[in-house]
Amino acid sequence: MLLKQNDFENALNYLKESIHLLEEVGNPRQLWQAYASLASAFYNAGRSSEARENWGLATHLINNTANRLSDNELKTGFLNADPIKSVLSSSGA
């Protein structure tokens, strides 16, 4: 909502705080989504290097999750899901 109101600094702070909490509880799904949201916020604020960094962190978490999946069909389905493909394509992976 803050992003839609062009309140980038508060949105960035909120997302950073969310990431800190998600790291504490160890929720990789929510964490990669938060990093992707933070990357989008940085991108929209014209801060492309910080956006790339956060896309990379989201991609790293996605790849770690995929690598832990022993079922190849499940892994393929995960990596081909639209939200995952969106993050991977945004990061250049």
Domain locations along the chain: 8-91
**Is the entire prediction scored with pTM above 0.85?**
no
pLDDT for the residue 6 = 60
Which residue reads 């250049």 in tokens? 92
**Distance (Å, rounded) from C-alpha 77 to C-alpha 79?**
6
Helices (H) and strands (E) in the chain, counts: 5, 0
Extract the residue ranges of the chain whose pLDDT is less than 70.
1-7, 93
Length of the chain as a residue count: 93
Which residue reads 């960094």 in tokens? 53
Which helix (DSSP H) or strand (DSSP E) does residue 15 occupy?
helix 8-25
Q: Which two tokens stand for residue 44?
A: 């929209």
